[in-house]
Structure 1
Amino acid sequence: MSDYKKNSITLTGAVGLGTGVMISAGIFALLGQVAALSGAWFPLMFIAGGIATAFSAYSYIKMSNEYPSAGGIGMFLVKAYGETTVTAGAALLMALSMVINQSLVARTFGTYTLQLFGTDSSSWLVPALGVGLLTTAFLINIAGNSFIQTFTSIMSLLKIVGLAIFAIAGLWAAGFSFEAAEPGGNPPDLSPASYIAAIALTILAFKGFTTITNSGSEIKEPKKNVGRAIMISIAISLSVYVLLAWAVSGSLSITEIIEAKDYALAEAARPAFGNAGVWFTVIIAILATVSGIIASVFAVSRMLAMLTDMKLIPHRHFGMPGDIQKHTLVYTIVFAMALTILFDLSRIAAIGVILYLIMDMIIHWGVLKKLKGKVEANRSIVTGALIIDAIVLMAFVWVKLQQDWLIVAVAVGITVFTFVGEKFFLKSAE
């Protein structure tokens, strides 16, 4: 069995884990993509995403109050669906979306780091730097809970303060104007579905709150602090996202934001603050992505270890020493490295959105139908979360089918393979 240390994570540490994952990928990797789908009022999409996430978080908080566990979402699914194909498949989708998030963060790290040297974001150095960051995250995770929560909490504080300074300075340079961004030359032609699809990307920016549930049994006073940590993390991240989005909106036109999609935040610093602003932004991006990777790897390896302990997913030692959690840590890092090398930021994000929303809907359905009477939850809020997920997912898939049908096919293929593979594995294990 894996070694989980009860009461080893404080409320501050849990908030650090949540914000560490959220702010790393959310604003740096996705801001330009959100602007491409929603145009001049893209900052409002982050507010919409925050509201949608608050609905979604309600189910997780109620489940955490009833079933605090180091397995988090994996345990929630077990309680709702039993040790079945649905449980194993949905839990793996969540794990995969978290690993995909790690590769998103890793490529963001490479993209922003290269801005210091004027190197194009299409360079092979982007995935190379991302792989280097993942290797570092692996080494730090071996150090254990105490070091991880201290490290991520300090890094989270530094990046939040740094981003707040950047946002306020950017708004000041723009005269604290909260007007829509200038369209620029040849702005995108947008549809209603495109705006809803943009909300899907912002939801991905907030999904890091689920990291907190995966450490439920290790957080001090989990029935009180898990919910607090989730809501505090969402509130902090929402504040940072909106301020930064408005700062970028006041500095660049929509066309310029889309052209600098993968490094829009750094590009936004250039007009007002020159190279010094770019350096400052890149340093904050490096801090943010490093803490995000470490926090995410910490969470997903523990959830996979719990599923392995419950014999819901296959496991092989391959001659490696140590416990199961150390092995799942290796698998997590290796898969994230492969994604970092194979896909660009927009495609990684698209796969992550689809897998996460499918899993999220399964969670809400479990609370609504399977755990009725066992988990005290307001059915209207849970139903609202389910409907929001369905609408946003359909809009996102529709838009992506027109822009890049292959990545939708890849996401669907991963989902089908996951559930079919789990069905055969569980049947063979009987």
Structure 2
Amino acid sequence: MGEYKENSLSLIGAIGLGTGVMISAGIFALLGQVAELAGTWFPLMFIAGGIVTGFSAYSYVKMSNEYPSAGGIGMFLVKAYGKGTLTASAAMLMAVSMVINQSLVARTFGTYTLQIFNVDEGSFLVPVLGVGLLLFAFIVNISGNSFIQTFTSVISLLKIIGLVVFAMGGLWVVGFSVAPAEGGSGTPESTVASMIAAIALTILSFKGFTTITNSGSEIVKPKKNVGRAIIITILITLVVYLLVAWVVSSNLSLSNIIEAKNYSLAEAARPAFGDYGVWFTVAIAIVATISGIIASVFAVSRMLAMLTDMKLIPHKHFGMPGRIQKHTLVYTIVLAMFLAVVFDLTRIASVGAILYLVMDMMVHWGVFKHLRKKVNANPGIVLTAFCLDGIVLTAFTWVKLKNDWLIVAVSLLFIVFIFIGEHFFLKNKSEE
């Protein structure tokens, strides 16, 4: 990748990057997991997730208006906490959660692609295809900003049109009647805690709006267009998610949705349109995951490069030529490949949700405690965002402790390792 170029991303390009990340694994892989936690009324969880995301986005819009930067969240944290362990650790939590999301997208690509060939999702081909997609994303990302924004904008438009066509067709089959999914046999009972926990996964499916902040200094008229791009992206994504969720709910029983949770959209197309519907849905999933991975890799490698320039994270060249941005791109892809091979979709999503919510709360607290006057932020809205994140994170952690404690343990290890690692790295830097 080349130098940061001001005015190299248009408003449409920024929206394309945001929707490119958001409308990918979020709806294709997470919808079934949300249904498993929330029960028959799971589509409503996307509305709740959109509301929580809206409160969250307020802090990012205010910060972007004051500090448009290619480092996005990394720069926001520096302004809030200075160049210390808190800033470096929170930024790394964000970066790692984005890389986890890339591995989620990669495995989703493999899972949906294999539906064409009726290959079981447990096949070794799922991570193989995921690794192949990550390699493709690397090639695209070294092609420069203009190509990336054109590619992601066009593909984002295609997948949004495709998902709307899928949704309208699915609703037409059921006479445009919106109904909750029937329970079916053996479905788990949802509780208040599990429904709140489901919101954590819907938040994860919306978090791609932060991609826009990482390109702040490159967007045309950033102080006006970053906020616009974030709001428009969230609204577009919410409408698409709701349409698709109701189609799945109206065409499949809850037990079928949970059974096919990693490819529920393809399964929902089967009773409505047969094999042709499955192939069409898989084609949309392929397009969506390709654009999602490209946009996400673009954003996280930018942020890591800026953190490296600010000497907040360690960096080794390992003999690689070229600029730091290209090196961080390589690190991003390699880590995403490792995670795509080692973890399944459910666990990848859970760890990503926990790390993201912890980081998000740190951003809101930094704005409230140190920057609310500087960025002219309403303290009530910022505190509301902080508390909503805390409630959702607590419920999600509680549910996972009961059902899959290893996820919580892995997430805690990530957090502890990052904080301790950053502490000693910055301490050694200071002594030098």
TM-score, scaled to structure 2: 0.99
> Which residue identity does 2:359 align to in structure 1?
M
Between the aligned partners of 1:305 and 1:222, the Cα distance in structure 2 is 20
Using the TM superposition, give the Cα deviation of residue 371 of structure 1 relative to its aligned residue in structure 2, in angstroms.
1.1
Between the aligned partners of 1:330 and 1:182, the Cα distance in structure 2 is 46
Aligned to 1:300: 300
Q: Deviations over 1:110-134 (max 9, x none)?
A: 0000000000001000000000000
Aligned to 2:45: 45
Aligned to 2:36: 36
Moved over 3 A (4+): none
Q: Do residues 354 (structure 1) and 354 (structure 2) align?
A: yes
> Which residue identity does 1:220 align to in structure 2?
V
Aligned to 1:89: 89
Between the aligned partners of 1:186 and 1:341, the Cα distance in structure 2 is 30
> Which residue identity does 1:348 align to in structure 2?
I
Using the TM superposition, give the Cα deviation of residue 2 of structure 1 relative to its aligned residue in structure 2, in angstroms.
7.2
Between the aligned partners of 1:381 and 1:241, the Cα distance in structure 2 is 25
Between the aligned partners of 1:220 and 1:84, the Cα distance in structure 2 is 31
Q: Say whether the 8 Å CA contact 2:372–2:378 is kept in structure 1.
A: no
- What is the number of equivalent residue pairs in this alignment? 430
Q: Secondary structure at the match of 2:182?
A: coil
Using the TM superposition, give the Cα deviation of residue 27 of structure 1 relative to its aligned residue in structure 2, in angstroms.
0.3
Provide closer, same or farther for how the CA distance between residues 2 and 83 of structure 1 changes in structure 2, counting only shifts above 3 A: farther
Q: Say whether the 8 Å CA contact 1:2–1:324 is kept in structure 2.
A: no
Aligned to 1:291: 291
Identity of aligned residues (%): 73
Root mean square deviation, CA, Å: 0.8
Q: Say whether the 8 Å CA contact 2:106–2:134 is kept in structure 1.
A: yes
Q: Say whether the 8 Å CA contact 1:2–1:305 is kept in structure 2.
A: no
For structure 1, list consecutive stretches of 5 or more residues without a partner in the other structure.
Answer: none
Q: How does 1:59-78 map to 2 (within 5 A)?
A: 59-78=59-78
Using the TM superposition, give the Cα deviation of residue 25 of structure 1 relative to its aligned residue in structure 2, in angstroms.
1.4
Q: Do residues 21 (structure 1) and 21 (structure 2) align?
A: yes
Between the aligned partners of 1:286 and 1:409, the Cα distance in structure 2 is 32
Q: Deviations over 1:319-342 (max 9, x none)?
A: 101100000000000000000000
Aligned to 2:397: 397
Aligned to 1:56: 56
Aligned to 2:264: 264
Q: Say whether the 8 Å CA contact 1:2–1:306 is kept in structure 2.
A: no
Between the aligned partners of 1:268 and 1:372, the Cα distance in structure 2 is 46
Using the TM superposition, give the Cα deviation of residue 189 of structure 1 relative to its aligned residue in structure 2, in angstroms.
1.4
Q: Deviations over 1:57-102 (max 9, x none)?
A: 0000000000000000000000000000000000000000000000
Q: Say whether the 8 Å CA contact 2:9–2:149 is kept in structure 1.
A: yes
Aligned to 1:199: 199
Between the aligned partners of 1:375 and 1:56, the Cα distance in structure 2 is 15
Aligned to 1:311: 311
Between the aligned partners of 1:369 and 1:77, the Cα distance in structure 2 is 12
For structure 2, list consecutive stretches of 5 or more residues without a partner in the other structure.
Answer: none
Between the aligned partners of 1:378 and 1:78, the Cα distance in structure 2 is 20
Between the aligned partners of 1:372 and 1:40, the Cα distance in structure 2 is 40
Using the TM superposition, give the Cα deviation of residue 372 of structure 1 relative to its aligned residue in structure 2, in angstroms.
3.3
Using the TM superposition, give the Cα deviation of residue 187 of structure 1 relative to its aligned residue in structure 2, in angstroms.
1.7
Q: Secondary structure at the match of 2:262?
A: helix
Q: Say whether the 8 Å CA contact 1:197–1:393 is kept in structure 2.
A: yes
Q: Say whether the 8 Å CA contact 2:181–2:249 is kept in structure 1.
A: yes
Aligned to 2:213: 213
Between the aligned partners of 1:300 and 1:276, the Cα distance in structure 2 is 36
Q: Secondary structure at the match of 2:402?
A: helix
